Amino acid sequence: MSALDRLLGTWGFTMHHSAMPEPVTGRQRYERVLEGAFVLQHWTYDNPEFPDAMALLSEDRYHYFDVRGVTRVFDLEINDAGWSMIRLDEDFSQRHTARFRGPDAMESIGEMSHDTGVTWHPDFTMTYQRIT
């Protein structure tokens, strides 16, 4: 069994984003695809200012796509405690770390950098609760 399997199902989330005065809510669904070789993640937000998205996850990569046509590739690490991913770019780098809080909850922190990861700044925090 892969550590990715711990993500399978539908999760509700609340995000506190540095650019928003109020929390943003939404859902994420994780499912095995391509005969179980990968996990497909679907994002939907309850706020139209945030783009719905999808990602394809392997054991070590996170490939992100959203409705704006944005694509990003992150290095991914996942284990029984949680997961982390990072993408370094000259203009805009991101890292995101999450920890499992029991079988049906997660908490995460996202950070951004505009100097290829030399200096990191808070971007958002998220709490997740499994729905199914």
Residue pair 70/63 in contact (Cβ under 8 Å)? The answer is no
Q: What is the pLDDT of residue 2?
A: 87
pLDDT tens, residue by residue, 51-101: 999 999 999 999 999 999 999 999 999 999 999 999 999 889 999 999 999
d(CA 125, CA 100): 14
pLDDT tens, residue by residue, 11-40: 999 999 999 999 999 999 999 999 999 999
**Residue ranges of domains in the chain, CATH in brackets:** 3-130 (2.40.128.20)
Q: What is the pLDDT of residue 59?
A: 94
Band of the pLDDT at 107, cuts 50, 70, 90?
A: very high
Q: What is the pLDDT of residue 1?
A: 65
Give bridge partners of residue 127 from the DSSP assignment.
14, 107
Give bridge partners of residue 129 from the DSSP assignment.
12, 105
